[in-house]
A = this chain, B = another copy of it.
Amino acid sequence: MFNPETIKQQFPIFKQKTPLGQDLVYLDNAATCQKPLAVIDRITDFYAKEYGTVGRSSYWPATETTKNYNEVRGKVQRLLNAAHEDEIVFTSGTTDAINKVANSFLRPRLNAGDVVIISEMEHHANLIPWQQICTEKGALLKVIPILDSGELDYEALESLLTNKVKLLAVTGVSNALGIKNDLLRIIKAAKGFEVPVFIDAAQSVAHSEIDVVALHCDFLVFSGHKIYGPTGVGVLFGKRERLREMAPLSYGGGIVKEVTIEAASFQQSPNKHEAGTPNIAGVIGLGAAVDFINEIGYAEISAHTKAITGYALEQLKAMEGIQVIGDVDDRAPVISFVMEGVHAHDLSTFLNEKGICIRAGHHCAQPLMHRLNLMATARISFAIYNTKADIDALIIALKETQAFLS
């Protein structure tokens, strides 16, 4: 039977008290997740016992490293159900992947008067890179608006789609509100106009199964550190033909066929897109994180985080002076709320005294906050190791804060 307490024991950070002597109640998983021992040990072993570079050596340990590195590509391929291993490219994170696709896929294909569509709930990472290139090229950035509930206005999307649209980039889940988007519907609509679709799955992969073939998206990206893996590593899935037709994501060693001062020719993907020495330890640690997820299984993970989210919503809604933002039935394990009379930052400082970690602010989604007329919210977000006891501790602390501050 699934037991979050035994899961928690696999995460060393929870074995100790916070500097103020509290148990750590970590509720900022949408920002970054804690790491299980299996991931930490894998990284340590890599550096201590088999460290080498990848891709161009015929000596141990580099041969071993290259094998292990490429095995992770297969693991990620299976995790996303991608059709080919060469559709998986390692980047240094979601932000990095988006910027690179913006530079190498969008820029050369975008002309004055063209259109790029995003949504009103995007994280700045899935907004500014596209925005800047639209500005540079004289193209238009259009927005799928949200309804008052926080959900996307799917009908509005349909009216935005034309033959001028060169890309549609949208998040799977709002990092600020936990709203889930109906990606199948969005992608189907976009495909009617042959619009390439880019999915920001930074908030999706930790909690729910992804199938890029069923989704039929052209690109999908996520970060290792949000799925129990190391920092500094991310994944770009790209359909084979997209990755082949694109210029390299960046230029350097390991990606070339022939180089002269005048010109360079390049290998095929994925090599082509991974210039320079990659974050080898990051990729290998990411492999351990994927194993960790697979061992528990998405069914258990989704069920658990859903249960915790439901429990937290219930408790929050029962409190006076708390307003949960976004009105949807089914949400990802992310809840934003405001406490009447108490600024989210003050709340966060108070909760920290109790060992409780929450996020306060605009969550890198200023246009969304603006639309909702909010300056800042408090956000809690859950992972596989969170328990009902965590929520209980939160609710007690919220009440104490309320009594003291408001």
Give chain A interface residues in 32-80, CB to chain B under 8 Å.
32, 34-35, 37, 39-40, 43-44, 47-53, 56-64
Question: Which residues of B sit under 8 angstroms from A19, Cβ to Cβ?
Answer: 60, 64
Give the shortest distance, in Å, between A177 (CB) and chain B (any CB).
16
| Most chain B beta-carbon neighbours within 10 Å: one of A99, A250, A256, A358 | A250
Question: 1/0 contact trace for A382-399 toward B, CB 8 Å?
Answer: 000000000000000000
Choose the segment among A148-156, A278-286, A323-331 that binds chain B (4+ C-beta atoms closer than 8 Å).
Answer: A278-286
Task: Decide yes or no: A275 and B125 within 8 Å by CB, A51-B34, A250-B95, A361-B56 being known contacts.
Answer: yes
Query: How far is A56 from B30 in the complex, measured between Cα atoms in Å?
Result: 13
Task: Assess the B364–A253 pair: CB atoms within 8 A.
Answer: yes
Question: Which residues of B sit under 8 angstroms from A403, Cβ to Cβ?
Answer: none
Task: Assess the A92–B366 pair: CB atoms within 8 A.
Answer: no
Give chain A interface residues in 1-44, CB to chain B under 8 Å.
12-13, 16, 18-20, 24, 28, 31-32, 34-35, 37, 39-40, 43-44
Stoichiometry (number of copies): 2
Instruction: Say if the beta carbon of A84 comes within 8 Å of chain B.
Output: no
**In the complex, which range does the number of interface residues on chain A fall in?**
35 or more
Task: Decide yes or no: A277 and B124 within 8 Å by CB, A129-B251, A132-B251, A361-B56 being known contacts.
Answer: no
Instruction: Say if the beta carbon of A367 comes within 8 Å of chain B.
Output: yes
Give chain A interface residues in 341-383, CB to chain B under 8 Å.
345, 348-349, 351-352, 355-361, 364, 366-367, 370
Task: Assess the A95–B252 pair: CB atoms within 8 A.
Answer: yes
Give the shortest distance, in Å, between A91 (CB) and chain B (any CB).
9
Task: Decide yes or no: A47 and B40 within 8 Å by CB, A259-B128, A279-B231 being known contacts.
Answer: yes
Question: Which residues of B sit under 8 angstroms from A278, Cβ to Cβ?
Answer: 231-232
Query: How far is A336 from B88 in the complex, measured between Cα atoms in Å?
Result: 35
Task: Decide yes or no: A276 and B348 within 8 Å by CB, A31-B53, A366-B256 being known contacts.
Answer: no
Question: Which residues of B sit under 8 angstroms from A338, Cβ to Cβ?
Answer: none
| Most chain B beta-carbon neighbours within 10 Å: one of A16, A128, A262, A370 | A128
* Other-chain residue from B58, B96, B277, B366 in contact with A250 (beta carbon distance below 8 A): B96
* Other-chain residue from B40, B59, B124, B253 in contact with A123 (beta carbon distance below 8 A): B253
Question: Which residues of B sit under 8 angstroms from A260, Cβ to Cβ?
Answer: 366-367, 370
Task: Assess the A251–B125 pair: CB atoms within 8 A.
Answer: yes
Task: Assess the B40–A258 pair: CB atoms within 8 A.
Answer: no
Task: Supply 9 further A-B pairs (C-beta < 8 A) apart from A118-B261, A131-B263.
Answer: A32-B51, A32-B53, A40-B44, A59-B352, A102-B251, A125-B251, A232-B233, A256-B364, A258-B366
Task: Write 8 A-B pairs (CB below 8 A) sorted by A numbering.
Answer: A13-B49, A16-B49, A20-B60, A58-B349, A92-B92, A93-B277, A128-B256, A232-B279
> Which 4 interchain pairs have the tightest Cβ spacing?
A232-B279, A95-B276, A253-B364, A125-B252
